[in-house]
Amino acid sequence: MKKNNISLLMALILTLFISSFSFSQDAVTDDRPIVTEDKTADTVKDTDTAAVEGKKEAAKAAEYASVKAAVYDDGLATYINSRVKYDITATDNALTDKSFFKVNESPEATFEKPFNLETEGKNVITYYSVDKMGNREKDRSMEVTVDNTPPVTMVKSSMPVYKGGEKLFISSTYLFSITSQDNSSGPGTIDYSLDGQTYKPYDASFSVTGTGEAVMKVKSSDNVTNTTETFTLILNGTENEPLTVQGNSATLTLDNTAPAVDIKSAMEPKSLDGKNIVTSSNKYEISAGDDGSGVATIFYKIDKAEKWIPYTKAIEFSIFGEHRIEAMAVDNVGNASTPVSLTIFIDVVPPDVKDTTAE
């Protein structure tokens, strides 16, 4: 009997330790701070520095509050956010005593409760267990990449957005595209709104229809649910030096109305035989008005010319005969007016007065 007890004890001592590693996607319940890069644009018009910083921190906290514990594997690496909890359990050994772990080069610690990883980037977790007899299993390890930074979101339009005063003008011909860049777990989902309330998934370029103003908002998430509502709207400029506005929303004013164009003659033409007769000293001015984005350029062409040229000064004619002026205008969001025209007849021939003296 004594021999059998000794054999059983030896079997227990020689039992292979297998420590398993598991994670929980339950939200973190403690109040520990998380290290995140502040991507919140400073759009607060406040001269009180403390108030500005407080609002930025509140915005950052609101973004983090929307993050749920998530794990994403792209086949090459495993990505997590800091809301993921890790647990160590030792199995197949009735005499398991303790488990130990360390993260990267940190000191070894006794495992007591599930823990989080808060340092962004690659992290190596090394762990093992021992039994009550002092038997120690070999080190095990796993590598994960912590990503707590939301994507960077850009909104581009097919034509330059015109900034007139405090307003951003567009027309319904504009097409908007949204891109999301994330250097860690990668871009995930994008949703956008044009009324500031109702969101829809972004899957292709879109236009803004209707009249008045549209409030554009964007929500962009990466593959481990880091989410941001901050985006950059590219107005115009070059690709290397774009002019932009940044914030959590952009109010766009729709302008779908072309300018009104008028051609005026300095002198009132004389009508004769269906012709508007003027002298060669007469001048013609072209004007245009636009109640929306404003007039960008006035164009004109004379007689049988095919090419439109920008209007810069009054027009004059010195050649005898009929002449035609055509004019049009384009506003700052590309709305082009229907051409208007004026036809006049230049009279440069003086009267032929015959001698009518009576004999």
Question: What CATH code is carried by the domain that includes residue 311?
Answer: 2.60.40.10
Residue (of 155, 115, 125) closest to 249 by Cα position: 155
Same domain, 162 and 184: yes
| Contacting residues for 263 by C-beta, under 8 A, at least 6 apart | 284, 285, 286, 325, 327, 340, 341, 342
Asked whether residue 275 is assigned to any structural domain, the reply reads yes
Whose tokens are 């403690």? That residue is 30
Spatial contact of 119 and 147, defined as CB atoms under 8 Å apart = no
Query: Coil, strand or helix: which one is 163?
Result: strand
Q: Are strands 231-237 and 152-157 parallel, antiparallel or unpaired?
A: parallel
Among 233, 254, 275, the domain-final residue is 254
Name the DSSP letter for residue 240.
S
Among 85, 119, 146, the domain-final residue is 146
Same domain, 219 and 274: no
Can you give the pLDDT at residue 132?
A: 87
Q: Report the distance separating Cα 249 and Cα 229, nearest Å.
A: 8
Q: Report the distance separating Cα 148 and Cα 144, nearest Å.
A: 13
Can you give the pLDDT at residue 3?
A: 40
Asked whether residue 301 is assigned to any structural domain, the reply reads yes
| Contacting residues for 35 by C-beta, under 8 A, at least 6 apart | 118, 119, 120, 148
Which amino acid, one-letter code, is at 305?
A
Same domain, 24 and 139: yes
Can you give the pLDDT at residue 192?
A: 98
Same domain, 190 and 174: yes
Same domain, 190 and 142: no
Could you tell me the two tokens for 28? 């973190």
Among 254, 286, 320, the domain-final residue is 254
Can you give the pLDDT at residue 22?
A: 60
Can you give the pLDDT at residue 28?
A: 37
Cα torsion for 256, 259, 260, 264, to the nearest 10°? -170
User: What is the span of the domain harbouring residue 18?
Assistant: 14-146
Same domain, 51 and 138: yes
pTM: 0.74
Half-sphere exposure in the Cβ direction for 271 (13 Å, CA): 1
According to DSSP, the residues that pair with 265 across neighbouring strands are 284
Could you tell me the two tokens for 317? 């004619």
Q: How many domains does the chain have?
A: 3
According to DSSP, the residues that pair with 20 across neighbouring strands are 89
Same domain, 105 and 141: yes
Residue 184 maps to which CATH number?
Answer: 2.60.40
Could you tell me the two tokens for 262? 């008028």
Which contacts qualify for 312-319: CB closer than 8 Å, 24 or more apart?
314/266, 314/283, 314/284, 314/285, 315/283, 315/284, 315/285, 315/286, 316/280, 316/281, 316/282, 316/283, 316/284, 317/280, 317/282, 317/344, 317/346, 318/280, 318/346, 318/348, 319/280, 319/346, 319/348
Same domain, 85 and 43: yes
Asked whether residue 359 is assigned to any structural domain, the reply reads no
Q: Which residues of the chain have pLDDT under 70?
A: 1-67, 92-94, 237-241, 348-359
Q: Is 75 left (phi over 0), alpha (psi -120 to 50) or beta?
A: left
Same domain, 33 and 134: yes
Q: Report the distance separating Cα 246 and Cα 223, nearest Å.
A: 23
pLDDT in tens, 55-66: 555 555 555 455
pLDDT in tens, 292-336: 999 999 999 999 999 999 999 999 998 999 999 999 999 999 999
